[in-house]
Every structure is written in structure tokens, then in C-alpha cells.
Chain A
Amino acid sequence: MEENRILEMRGIEKSFPGVRALRGVDFSLNKGEIHALMGENGAGKSTLIKVLTGVYSKDNGKISMPGAEDIQIHSPQDAQNAGISTVYQEITLCPNLTVAENMYIGRGKGVITNWKKMNEDANKILRSLDIPATATQQLASCSIAVQQMVAIARAVDMDCKVLILDEPTSSLDEQEVEKLFGLMRDLKSRGVGIIFVTHFLDQVYAVCDRITVLRDGTLVGEYAIADLPRVELVAKMLGKEMDDLADIKGESAGYQGDIVDDVVFEAEGLQSDAGIKPFNFYIKKGEVNGFTGLLGSGRSECVRAIFGADRILGGKVKMHGKEVKIAKPLDAMKNGIAYLPEDRKIDGIVGDLSVRDNIILALQVLTGFFKPFSKAKAQAFAEEYIKKLNIKTASADTPIKSLSGGNQQKVILARWLLMHPEYLILDEPTRGIDVGTKVDIQKLVLELAGEGMSVTFISSETDEMLRTCSRLVVMRDRKTVGELSGDDLSQNKIMETIAGGEG
């Protein structure tokens, strides 16, 4: 092991039934270093972290720390004993206890607690780390950032050599993030090695020394921060080389013909309580556009705001130039807006209900509480769309939860198509479904646009968006940072815009 190394992981393998989550991943961490672990969802970041913290046990590979070749970590307790501590995205402390109690909970050796000493010790650590909290304060009375810091202080006091911060900044505002960075730099100067997992590119470049990029369970590479410009980082995360995608552009050219200059929907300074900055947006009749950006950039939050799915805090919304009020989903539906949500299981399907009830749900609600469809009519609707979208189900009576993911998604799509919306929003309609269905859905989107429907299409796979959209709104860190159309619609340009000017 090299000098200065504090942790080395070699050839880590981990499989779950049907998935190889990690394939021979290497990772190393130096003393006094902040090391970013990057990758899109499903890249294997969390699996690697969980192997390191003993939540999962690895199938193969070696973990070494100074003075201990090939250490075995089988439980979080083992990890802690080895000096590896983790602070998670959600605070895992007890908000109803005091700061000091939270720092020492579960660590006492005897049954008797010396409260005075505990509080004094806690205060000493808090002061030394410059954390604005006192030992006897109730944790819940601290801000989220300070709670996060207390969790870190707890980890530090447990004599940790390796500190893992798993998306610690996702619920913090800018100033709080700055405070947290201060603490991280402080720990770094004391020789702690920090593994920093985040989706925010700016933050990576603000505090980190090195970056390890994972994709699809494999190691893409390890880079010094100075050697990896943002654009390349984005390219490495998405798995696209800068120049190999020019040919895709041609496919989408044919679908821009029949766009009429009628602005169907327009939003000005729209803002919701989901944490996005106010944004402007419009879509024309027969247009297919999309929001793009990395995960957590706020693309879903934008379309949720359009549909009134989150609480609207401000902004003006117009349909065909006339101002309308959209405060809740029903308002949007009445204005002819349909929304297929990102998370099919949580926001989409009504699991125990039949395919038929799931298909008619939105139109039924729109029709009214006192006007239920007759059974025959509902059945006819269901059968029409089961045939149209080629949904594979035993019958219209089958509970939707027993269908495959792709077919469930088609049912939800059928639900909204049945409403004959003017404006259809599809948030990740192709996630987690088979390739055949993905192509079906993309074709359908273009077909619908050809008939004059306006469609907003969001997908993590940029290829899909390039193939379907004629205009892309680019998002970074919860605000819109650019808009691309025409010749600018290329993988390279998208990545440049996502990465920001400094690339």
C-alpha cells in the first residue's frame, strides 16, 4: 500500500439476483483528501458505499486499510470499529434528544451516564469544529445543516479515519452548504479522508481533490480534479464520448414539419415548494420538447409545477394566451393537461384496482363525481386502449399490480390518452421498461404530436430526447440554464450546457 493511503478497495464485486451491481471496482482514498464518487442512478455508488459500511457483504475483492491487509467488514459495527463512519442524506439521529445525547447515544460502556462530563465533552467537540450548537440543546431546534454537522461531529468523535458523506447537501440551502464545506475542509486538514457522494457538479468542483466515476457497475476512471473538465465528467457519467453521436440528429429532423405557431401553454416565473428556482416555459401546438439535466437538477419538479402537483408558490400560467389558475392537478386536467409521473409505483398505478379502473380513472374524475361511467362504457374504453397500445393483460379485470412494468406504464399512458389532452407531459415514461416498449412509446409520442398534441418528454437517456424533442430546456442545480433547438440539439451541446460555461 502506498504511503498516505488510508483506504484501498480492489476488484470489488457484488451481485444481486439478476443484476451485477459492481464488477471489479477499484477505489482508493488518501489521508486528508476529499474524494467525489460520481455516477448516474444505478451506476453502483450506493452499492459500493454499502459494501464499505458493511450493509452488504462483497462477493469478491479486497479492502485494505493501513496496518490491516484484507479487512473483513460484515456489519456496520465492523465498519465503525475500523474507523469508517457514514452520514446519510436523511438525518438518522433522534430529533427529540439533545445534541449531546445524540452524539453519545449507543456508545456508553456502563449503565450509568455521567451527564455533566458528556455535555462538557460534547461542547468541546462542537467548539473545536466550530459548529453553532450547544450540548444541551434539543436536536430538533437546530437547522437541518447543523443537524447534519452534529451527525458529522458524532462520526468524528468516534475516531473515524474515513468519513462517508452520502448526498449531505440535498436538503441544504447555499449558505448552509458553505458552512458544511467549511467543516469538511477543517476535517481534511486534520487528516480525515472524506468520500463525498453528490449530484451537484458545482459542489464537486468546489471542495473535492479527486473524482472517481462509476457507470453501470464498472469503474470508468479516477481523476484529479484539475485533469477533468466538467464537460468530460458529464460525458463520462453518461457514457457518451464527445463526438460519436452526431448521426442521431438526422432522425428527428422529419418530425418538425407541422408545428403551428399557437402557444398552447405558457408559464412565467413559475415556482413550487419543491425547491426549484422560478422558471419560464412555453410549448406550441404539435411541439415535442423536453427538460434535460442530471438527476436532481429539477427537471421533474418543473413539470410537476406545471401540472400543479406540488404547492405553487408563484408565477403566471397561460393556456392559449389566456391566463388560467392551476393550483391542483384537477385544474390542470380541466385545462387539458395530462401528466405521467416519474415514479410509476408511487404516483402512477393504483395497485389493487383493475386495469379497467386504472385506465378510466383520470377521465372519470374529470367527468365528475356524480356521473360514473356504466360498466359497459368503462369496459369499452379499457378494451379500446388495451388494443390500441397493445397492453398485455389477462383481462381488463386483472389488478394492474400483476402486470409487468412496461405494461403498467402503458396502462397509465392509456389513462391520460383517454382524456384526449391538448398537452401531455411524460416524465421518464421509458424508465425500467423493456426496449421494445421504449421504442413503442417514442413512436407514439411523435405520432401524437403529428396529430397536434403538444408533448413534454423527459428521459434520463439523452438519445431518446434527441430522437423525439425539437427543443430542450437544460437544467442545472434546480434552475434553467439554457435552451437548445435546431442545430444546437446534439449530445455535445447538451453536455456542455449541463456542465456550465467553465468547462
Chain B
Amino acid sequence: MAAGIRSQAMHFQARAGQQVRNLGLQRALQKAKPLFVGKRAKGIASLVEDGLDFGLLRSTGKNARNRNLEDLDVWLDIFEERATATGAEVLWARDGEEVSRLVVDIAQRHGVTKAVKSKSMLSEEAQLNEALAAAGIRPVETDLGEYIVQLAGEAPSHIIAPAVHKTIGEVEALFAKEHGRPLEARTSADIPAMAQEARAVLRQHFLSAEMGISGANFLIAETGSAALVTNEGNGRMVTTLPRIHVVITGIEKIVPTLDEFATLMRLLPRSATGQSISNYVSLLTGTKREGDHDGPEKTIFILVDNGRANLLGTPYEEMLRCIRCGACMNHCPVYFSLGGHAYGWVYPGPMGSVLTPLFTGIENALDLPHASTGCNQCGAVCPVEIPLPELMHRLREEQNERGLRPCSERLALKAWAWLAGKPTLYRWLTRRAARYLSWLADDSGRIRVFGLAPAWTAGRDLPVSSGRTFHELYSARKKA
């Protein structure tokens, strides 16, 4: 397992069961799903008004991302050169542990006691908050959702809506405790007031923090800039107010030119939230220049591998196209039955079911590639055409090739396949099976408890036929 990663993905099965039974969570998810799906659908439909075709845009985005990856090393070199020329510093990190070490080191060298953070999933990969806290530096999450999950001592459960699993009552309890005020009854009408409350608290942190830490949605090679796509404005505070700005992002986030960035920006906000453009799009280049009113005195990019380069040239390279919009999880029936925490590591939903095994070890996340009905709702919405079900399937095959599937499963499959290869025997056995099923069924033709597949009848009946197979009846009919 890559260093610095603490994964619970092996416990998916047990955690999934818990989450399905968590009524508060189910209520929160039930509410969020139609919003996500509806907004995206509207956003995609609105492309037509701009004379754009989603299918065409998707393949343009896909091809652009593929080209970025083909010459990844070249674009990264160019980025480093251009970013350095603008006065920024570029550092490289092999894994999450190195990210944490670098950030703590920078903070200590500059006497930082508090760091404000804009959303960064990579900092979750690195478990940066824990490392900062251990070094006596207070990390303060400033994205509203991230702020909520930080107060709760939890990890984000969604890559763009970190607190989607929380009900308003849970958020109110956290706020009342943290902000030292009595608990109030809240409805969704109070959300703006609650956001204002968090904003007032966060404002003080923005003004007093010595360091800002952000991710980057894209790195633009030709200008040496980081592009930041946000909706709350906290990203601008984090990247301009503190003396030091540290950008942490994956090496695959690079795009060669602003032109390609523009193409991807037509896809990203629409796929994520349905917006034609997010409230804020920042292009952060270099440091505070003479005459600038604000901006960091020092800008440091930490470009992180953490398992990404290993995917180049493999069947999984396509996963590196991902622009982290969240559409795959927003349309995933499994994600919306569990929420993100069941997935056990940083990334949930279909993209997580592919990335977690690849980044933390296939043997450490055996359930995830199977945690899919194969419905391909994710693949159908992905703005850069990542064939997520195919990649999950490839991971399933790799589990088999490496002998990682349970013996019982392999044997059962082998026995069944052997039988399916012997039609005469197969007919004989299925005839008996049909009779057995029909014998187990009650008067209404249904099995209520089925010992051979208890997981099925735990939640549903098993409707069965009259005890004859099709082929049995068909042969009888032909003879008649």
C-alpha cells in the first residue's frame, strides 16, 4: 500500500450494510440525488442554446486529455519552467507522505501556526490535516462542506459535495457546539443564515492564517498557472490573503494551453453542478507583483504522483483523464444507496471503485470493483468518456489472474461453467432444480427464505415457475 494512505476499503461489505441501515444518511442522499441529476441534465441541455453538442464536446475533451497524458512529461517540464519564471516554486512529491512532509516543512520554515485550506482531495490522499495537526499547525477547512466534515471529525463523502451525507439537523448540532451558541430548530430555509454564520467564523481565519493550501482543477503549462473552479469564493481568500500559498495537485491535472482549459471548462461545471460556469474561476499565476493589492508573497506548487505515473501505458491510463466532476457518483445507484464513506478511502463512487484499488493496491480493495451493477450510468455521463464499468471489469479480471478471489467463488464458477458445457447433464440438473424451487415455493409461487441465496431472500421473495424448465416443456411439445 502506498505510504501515507489509510484505507478502510477492505471493509466495504460491512460498512455498506451499516450505511444502508443509516436512516439519517438515507434521508440526506434521497434529497440530494434528484438535485444533482436534475441540475446536470439542465446544464447539458443548455449546451444546445450555445450551439454546442455534448457528444462532440465530450470526444473533444477526451481527445484533449489523451493528448495531455501522451506527453505528460513534456508538459510538466514546460509547466515547471513557466511557473518558475513567474516567481513560483515547483516541488515534486512521490507519494502522500512526501506531500505532508513538504507542506509541514514549508510551514515550519515560515513560522506558520494556522493554514486555511480550499478543497483538495489530494490533501486527503496525503492525510495532510493529520500531519499538520501533529506538527502543531492548525488546518482550517474553508469550503463550507469541508468545514462541516472537519467539525464532525469525518472525511468528505463526495468529491464536490463533501458533506452531502449530513442532514441539516446534524450540521446545526455541529455549528451550535463549535460556535458556542444554543441549538435551534432548522429547516432548509435557514441554510443561508447558517452559511453566513460559518462565513463570519471563517473570515477571521482567512485574515489570521499565514498559509493557504489549495488544490488545482487544472495546471496550465503554457502560463504556469493553476486553475481553480469554485462556487463559494473561499478559494480566492485562501489563495490571495495568506503570505504563502501552497498548491497541491496530481501530475495528471496538466493541460497544455488555455484553449484546452476552455474546452474542459465547458464540460466540468455542467457535469458537476449543471452550471454553465462556476461562480468563481481563478487562474493563479506567480506571486504578488509590485502594485498588486493582494496575493501571496510565496507560491509553491507540489505536484504529486502517488500512483498516477504507474497507470500510464496500462489499460487503466484512461482513468487519468478524470476531471473530478463527480457526475459518475451522482448517477450511481450504488453510491446513492451508501454515500461515500462506505468506499473506505478518499474517492467514492465509480471513479473511486477504480482509483482506490489502483492507488492503494488491488489486494486492499477487493470488493470495490464488484460494487457495481454494471448499469453504466456512470460511463454514460462521464464528460471525458472514461469507460468506468470496463475499468472495474478489468480490475475484476486482474483479481482473478492474481488468484485474489475467494476459493469458494472460483470453484462455484468453475463447477457451473463445467456444467453449462455439458447440455445433457445441464438439462437433467436444471429439471431437478426447477422441481426443487417449485417445491420450496409457497401457494403464491414464491420462495420467502432461500438457503442457497439467503442474501436474495433477505430483501425480496424469489418468484418461481411451475416446476418445469423451458427446454423440458419444449421437447415434450415437439414430441406431442
Same complex origin of A and B: no
Name A's B-contacting residues (CB within 8 A).
none
Name B's A-contacting residues (CB within 8 A).
none
